[in-house]
Structure 1
Amino acid sequence: MSLELSVDLTTLVALTAVAFVAGFIDAIAGGGGLLTTPALMTAGLPPHLVLGTNKLSSTFGSAMASYTFFRRKLFDPKQWIHALLGTAAGALIGAVVAHYLPAEWINQMLPVIVFGCGLYLLFGGVPKAPLDSDLPIKKKWQLPQGLGLGFYDGVAGPGTGAFWTVSTLLIYPIDLVRASGVARSMNFVSNAAALSVFIFSGQVDWLIGLCMGSSLMVGAFFGARTAIQGGARFIRPVFIIVVLGLTIRLAWQHWFS
């Protein structure tokens, strides 16, 4: 494991600052990769290191956000065992496939899918389930949901948190705050699983990833607390803004560039 500095100190500080903002946003609505991935590319990292390094830093941020929701009793792992297992398996498979299979067809569809998430939340409203609801979470759809979104996160990644939030709202009787807790927790599982493949392949810049990851954790801590305190009224507009921004970026990147 090499910890040699591959960028100048000013660039490292800038990347760390971007990571803090990304962690804050990601803990609320997802989409932190919208900032960190382009930042790593701009810093001049080789393409094969960008994905692995971004997974390392993202794992730190999603771990903190997931723990914050768990500590506030807004995510119960026992109710989501099938989804957790499916997500881990899907992410491992996706990360391996990413090394061999071009993902152009997925990239072409991304803007449409992400934009659909935004439209649903903008016009479809959100469930009104109370925060202290103890309604049982059905396990029927957890495994396919976890496998599909875990696989996607392993192969590509942008918008995974948004997909988790919207699909969870559609399938289960929970509110937006709890859905955000599920999304952050599943993001952590898929990030960690995919990261193990990138580490095995030697595709991680450890110094940059650890610095950005530490900053992401701090941002995620404040972002998760803000989301929990602000509730659905706060999460909803932030989520919509992030999704629209993600749609524009992905459309530009994969349709017009």
Structure 2
Amino acid sequence: MPFELTVEPLILLILAAVAFVAGFIDAIAGGGGLLTTPALLTAGMPPHLVLGTNKLSSTFGSATAGFTYYRRKLFHPARWRLAIVGTLSGALIGAVIAHYMPAEWLNKMLPVIVFACGLYLLFGGTPKAPLDADAPIRKKWQFPQGFSLGFYDGVAGPGTGAFWTVSTLLLYPIDLVRASGVARSMNFVSNIAALTVFVISGQVDYIVGLAMGVSVMIGAFFGARTAISGGSKFIRPVFITVVLALTVRLAWQHWFGQA
């Protein structure tokens, strides 16, 4: 039952500790699922509960980080309305068909895509902040960007934050700190949409998810503040480290069949 403790108390404490670290990292560069998803699987939770429970905990983190960026005026929702609508609709559709869509081909491609993200920042450098911090944001790509990444987050999820950061840097006149704000905020939109579907289908362990969610939220609060104060010089190495680690994890899991 979702409201019964399904793991040992010590395991729950370990999961909460992992969630704190994941929240801190996710608020800076994305990729927190790299830690929480394997941790939930290792704890012996049935796979059909892992996605939903992880969405519950990650929603806490993305909400906290997104609000922190918003409060610091580093994310303006009015400029990203089409992206929000696209992300919401894509995540809902992705979560609904998650259990019917054969995703083997997508899983094989994930390591390549995530690795490309790391190479982009490693060799391409960090884009400079525009002279005008309020430079207009083009609306042309917002809906397709939001829909595709929202759909992916609903179906799978690993690396969504990293994909948001890199694609935002490529498509808009925006610096790395603000791109991180967009990524965290859009992560919240897709998380809450997908979570709604998982809740309706009964695929959430609420005790584990809420315990991890509180830890993720605390980690995300400190992570977002650290990222904002440290700026691009701090985010860039953390981001590169996360995407390269995510590449190794995904390649090991989907190319070599290791959990």
Alpha-carbon distance in structure 1 between the residues aligned to 2:55 and 2:117: 23
Aligned position for 1:201: 201
- Residues 52-104 of structure 1: CA distance to partner in whole angstroms, max 9, x if unpaired? 00000000000000000000000000000000000000000000110211211
Aligned position for 2:110: 110
Q: TM-score, normalised by structure 2?
A: 0.98
CA RMSD of aligned residues (A): 1.0
Aligned position for 1:142: 142
Alpha-carbon distance in structure 1 between the residues aligned to 2:233 and 2:120: 16
Assess if the C-alpha contact under 8 Å between 1:131 and 1:178 holds in 2. no
Aligned position for 1:128: 128
Query: Could you list the runs of 4 or more consecutive aligned residues of structure 1 that deviate by over 6 angstroms after TM superposition?
Result: none
Shift of the alpha carbon at 1:2? Answer: 3.8
Alpha-carbon distance in structure 2 between the residues aligned to 1:207 and 1:110: 31
Assess if the C-alpha contact under 8 Å between 1:20 and 1:219 holds in 2. yes
Assess if the C-alpha contact under 8 Å between 2:130 and 2:173 holds in 1. no
Shift of the alpha carbon at 1:132? Answer: 6.4
**1:228 maps to amino acid:** I
Q: How many residues align?
A: 257
**1:74 maps to amino acid:** L
* CA gap 1:223/1:132 in 2 versus in 1, 3 angstroms: farther
Q: TM-score, normalised by structure 1?
A: 0.98
Alpha-carbon distance in structure 2 between the residues aligned to 1:129 and 1:159: 24
Assess if the C-alpha contact under 8 Å between 1:169 and 1:175 holds in 2. yes
% same residue = 78
Assess if the C-alpha contact under 8 Å between 2:56 and 2:209 holds in 1. yes
Aligned position for 1:253: 253
Aligned position for 2:170: 170
Q: Which runs of 5+ in 1 are unaligned?
A: none
- Residues 95-119 of structure 1: CA distance to partner in whole angstroms, max 9, x if unpaired? 0110211211110000000000000
1:56 equivalent in alignment to 2:56:
yes
Following superposition of structure 1 onto structure 2, how do residues 60-71 of structure 1 map, counting pairs within 5 Å? 60-71=60-71
Assess if the C-alpha contact under 8 Å between 1:131 and 1:175 holds in 2. no
- Residues 19-51 of structure 1: CA distance to partner in whole angstroms, max 9, x if unpaired? 000000000000000000000000100000000
* CA gap 1:92/1:62 in 2 versus in 1, 3 angstroms: same
Alpha-carbon distance in structure 2 between the residues aligned to 1:252 and 1:215: 27
- Residues 148-182 of structure 1: CA distance to partner in whole angstroms, max 9, x if unpaired? 00000000000000000000000000000000000
Aligned position for 2:213: 213
**1:179 maps to amino acid:** A
- Residues 192-244 of structure 1: CA distance to partner in whole angstroms, max 9, x if unpaired? 00000000100000000000000000000000000000000000000000000
SS state at 2:233 partner:
helix
* CA gap 1:17/1:116 in 2 versus in 1, 3 angstroms: same
